[in-house]
Amino acid sequence: MSDRHTPLTRRRLMQLAGTVGAGWAVASCAGPGSSGGGADEARDEPIPTGPVEGEVSFAHWRAEDQAAFDQLIAAFRQETGVTVRQDISPSNDYQSTALQRVRGGGVGDVLTAFRGAQFNDMVSAGVYSDLTDQDVVGQYDSQLIEVGRQDGTQWGLPYQVVFNMPVANLDLLERAGATGAPQDWQGFLALCEDLQALGVVPIAWPAAAPGDAGQLLNAMVMNNAPADDMFVQVESGDLKVTDEWFLTTLRQYEQLRPFFQPRATGTAVEPAQQLFASGQAAMLATGSYHIAPVRALGAQFPMDLVAPITVPADQAKYEGIYNATFILGVNTASDVRPAGLAWVEFLSRPENASAYANATAQHVTVSGATYENQDLERTSPWLTRDTLLAPRFQFDDLDVRAAVENAAVAVVGGTSPEQAAEEAQRVVDQAQ
Amino acid sequence: MSRLRARGRRRASRIHPALYLFPLPALVLYVVFFAVPTLQAVQYSVTDWDGFSPDFANVGIANFRDALTDDDLFRNAATNNLKFMLVVVVLQTAFALLLALLLARNSRGGILLRALFFFPTILSSVSVAFIWKFVYDPNFGLGNRFLGAVGLDGLQSSYLGDDAAAIYWVALSQVWFHVGQMMVLFIAGLQAVPRELYEASAIDGAGRWAQFRHITWPMIAPATTIVVAYTTIQSFRAFDLILGLGGNPPRPSLDILSTRIYATFVNSEYGYAAAESLLFMLLIAAITVAQRQLLGLTRGSV
């Protein structure tokens, strides 16, 4: 027989809380993928042709471009009345977390992606709206925006053209007696020796900075590899990094060891930039995206790009590397898609793209953009040279990419090319 | 029996029922931020979910098997983490105890020095990482410049670029970061030791070492337990310090379990990352239990 007035004891309360909590916890454990945030439903719907209004969140990783975008945002607001708010994350964080952050549409009405794994994942997740039939696509150089296309659908518009190969101090190259960029591997080594004889570091390489350290690999493999999609084939198992072409590349890194700054494997990106900007190093082995930061550090000398040609001149297929990145798109989960599209269209006008390019010292993919910035003018010929689309972004698996790139760093740190290649190949094999 | 039960019921009914609502906020937070995520991690760990697709497959224990037997990166991170933990626990505990013994008195100088040693604790991990990045830079850093200035060029190093030693350099930064915090715990323990014990032992002719061994060490065992357990757990959570010093993702020589799990998650392997997280939890639990058993630092042993 139970009591008529059951008191609320601690035990009863705990039992009640436990039961409710456990039930709720189990209910919360819905199956993976069940919290899509609405992106999947909107994926196939075209961008509506509603009024251009609201506030647009623009998610990207280029903090150094914030001022340039602010000016364009002010002009856009004057024209349309729409406010654009920049949501900027550091590039590494953007690479890591952007997909999760933009899926719900809370941020990133207009978003960007790195070419490669991140763009592919974002397209798979249904984040990018289909732009194929939008007029804005016609504003771009169609070849340069191919990387924003998948199976005939234009999901995104790569906005920047970057040259991911060493930047050179032309004054120092001239003092070393160079009359032009070396045409073969022996010529490149000879140039490094001449630069060293001048008492400067031939190549500043931020080997301790993930991402930046890997850029040199683009140019080192572009002529050595048996196929242009070499890293796709490495991931699929058709090529191995223990094959002769990659071992040759690692042995060439070994040859470059004396030409990097001392203890290069511990150098972060800022000190490497400082070495280059102060004239203590002749080349900075990262890419054209570092020209503006180096200028900001006070560099006055003329700069151009120099890629190491790792084969005899008559076997060289490519002169350098480029990448089409910063892939603009409109978020399917956004509530203000017409305004988002209007912002993309605004950025895609030649006059605005030119303003962006000249303010940030980066080439753009928009047709008819004009370059007044001195560094852009000097590097513009690279837009029409034989360049390979940066192969390091072919990797879909970031662990595999890191393992392959780290093999080069390990070799410069003293590991034998064979051992470094074997260790990298083990990671590749385990990822398959 | 029935009288006892009736008395218990009476005592329970004397407490106002509303008081039982007080634990609710903590309980809710615990369930939301610990219980549910842990249950979900168990659920995800047996899938190949990529973190965003609606589709996934159940893979059973394959994720656990791969992590334990066929993943050089996970094994490397676990090895690094154990090395890191060992160095941090030993050095941090030893230095914290030494500083506490030297600064336990409430003199003006002692208080000033305590504040100085405690200062790094209030900095954010990112600030600490930046400070040590400047120390460890091989070209412009304070470390090599100091060694060069005193004629010890042969000892100059690439620090974080030296694969064999990189994790120990990070461990030193971690010790610098948290030693002040542990010192404060030891000082609290030391100040609770009754003076009479020292006076009595002095009369008995005990030296300083004997006093430390037979009075101080046993009496501060509870503080030592807290310091060792906290330092151990802290050394597994050095996530932001590693990312700040080594970049994202860190090189294999700097990778620890928390950064490896994060890298796996970023690599769109959510299910596998969940399996790694559970193994991580088990490892911490095993180490904490083993520590308590081996060191005998439980209350009962004091």
Backbone angles phi, psi at A53, to 5 degrees: -155, 170
- Which residue would you say has higher pLDDT here, B51 or A120? A120
Pairing mode, strands A281-284 and A320-330: unpaired
Give me the mean pLDDT over the A19-32 stretch.
55
d(CA A353, CA A357) in angstroms, rounded, equals 6
Q: How many angstroms from the chain centroid is the CA of residue A275?
A: 23
Give ipTM to 2 decimals.
0.82
The pTM of the full predicted model, rounded to 2 decimals, is 0.84
d(CA A394, CA A371) in angstroms, rounded, equals 29
Residues in B closer than 8 angstroms to A262, CB to CB, are 138-139
pLDDT of residue B233: 87
Asked if pLDDT for residue B301 goes beyond 50, the answer is no
Asked if pLDDT for residue A22 goes beyond 70, the answer is no
SS3 A80: helix
Amino acid at A126: G
The residue among A412, A394, A383, A408 whose CA lies nearest residue A216 is A408
Q: Dump pLDDT digits (tens) for A393-413.
A: 999 898 999 999 999 999 999
Give me the mean pLDDT over the A87-95 stretch.
84
Asked if pLDDT for residue B112 goes beyond 80, the answer is yes
Nearest CA in chain A to B269: A397
Give me the mean pLDDT over the B70-89 stretch.
94
The first and second tokens of residue B232, run together, are 């151990």
Residues in B closer than 8 angstroms to A275, CB to CB, are 139
Contact B274, B44 (CB under 8 A): yes
d(CA A235, CA A49) in angstroms, rounded, equals 42
Mean of the per-residue pLDDT values of chain B: 88
Q: Do B138 and A262 touch (CB under 8 A)?
A: yes
Asked if pLDDT for residue B13 goes beyond 80, the answer is no
pLDDT of residue B11: 55
CA distances from B276 to A93, B43, B60, B264, B270 (A): 21, 13, 14, 9, 10
Q: Do B31 and A40 touch (CB under 8 A)?
A: no
pLDDT of residue B297: 52
A–B CB contacts, 8 A cutoff, strictly below: 158
Residues in A closer than 8 angstroms to B263, CB to CB, are 398-399, 402
Asked if pLDDT for residue A114 goes beyond 60, the answer is yes
d(CA A340, CA A41) in angstroms, rounded, equals 19
Under the banding of pLDDT at 50, 70 and 90, the label for residue B14 is confident
Asked if pLDDT for residue B9 goes beyond 60, the answer is no
Give the DSSP H or E segment for A330: strand A320-330
Peptide bond into B250 cis (omega under 30): no
pLDDT of residue B287: 87
d(CA B143, CA B76) in angstroms, rounded, equals 27
d(CA B300, CA B302) in angstroms, rounded, equals 6
Q: What is the DSSP letter of A128?
A: B
Residue of A3, A5, A8 for testing the chain B interface, max B β-carbons within 10 Å: A8
Closest Cα in chain B, distance from residue A20 (Å): 10
Q: State the CB neighbour count (10 A cutoff) for residue A169.
A: 25
Nearest to B36 among A28, A121, A124 (CB): A28
Q: Show which of residues 160-179 on chain B sit within 8 Å of chain A, judged by CB atoms.
A: 160-163
pLDDT of residue B2: 52
Q: Dump pLDDT digits (tens) for A199-225.
A: 999 999 999 988 899 999 999 999 999
Q: Do A28 and B27 touch (CB under 8 A)?
A: no
pLDDT of residue B276: 95
Under the banding of pLDDT at 50, 70 and 90, the label for residue A24 is low
Q: Show which of residues 224-283 on chain A sit within 8 Å of chain B, judged by CB atoms.
A: 261-268, 271, 274-275
Closest Cα in chain B, distance from residue A127 (Å): 10
- Which residue would you say has higher pLDDT here, A300 or A23? A300
Instruction: Specify which residues A149 forms β-bridges with.
Output: A154
pLDDT of residue A17: 58
Q: Could you write out the three-class secondary structure of B29-78?
A: HHHHHHHHHHHHHHHHHCECCCCCCCCCCECCCHHHHHHHHCCHHHHHHH
Task: Give ∠ CA B247-B251-B252 in degrees, rounded to 5.
Answer: 145
The first and second tokens of residue A46, run together, are 């075209």
Contact A357, A376 (CB under 8 A): yes
Residue of B68, B266, B269, B276 for testing the chain A interface, max A β-carbons within 10 Å: B266
Asked if pLDDT for residue B6 goes beyond 60, the answer is no
pLDDT of residue B262: 92
pLDDT of residue B5: 56
Q: Dump pLDDT digits (tens) for B246-265.
A: 888 899 999 999 999 999 99
Give me the mean pLDDT over the A354-370 stretch.
93
Give me the mean pLDDT over the B28-37 stretch.
91
* Cα atoms found within 13 Å of the Cα of residue A175, Cβ hemisphere only: 17
Q: Show which of residues 47-76 on chain B sit within 8 Å of chain A, judged by CB atoms.
A: 47, 49-56, 66, 70-73
Residues in A closer than 8 angstroms to B36, CB to CB, are 24-25, 28-29
pLDDT of residue A205: 97
pLDDT of residue B54: 79
Nearest CA in chain B to A274: B140
Pairing mode, strands A320-330 and A387-389: parallel
Mean of the per-residue pLDDT values of chain A: 89
pLDDT of residue B248: 80
Percent of chain A with pLDDT over 70: 90
Asked if pLDDT for residue A44 goes beyond 70, the answer is no
Contact A196, A329 (CB under 8 A): no
The residue written with tokens 């997280």 in the block is: B277
Measured between CB atoms, does A92 come within 8 Å of chain B?
yes
Amino acid at A160: Q
Contact A380, A360 (CB under 8 A): no
Q: Show which of residues 303-362 on chain A sit within 8 Å of chain B, judged by CB atoms.
A: none
Residues in A closer than 8 angstroms to B17, CB to CB, are 7-8, 13
Give me the mean pLDDT over the A51-79 stretch.
92
Give me the mean pLDDT over the A180-189 stretch.
93
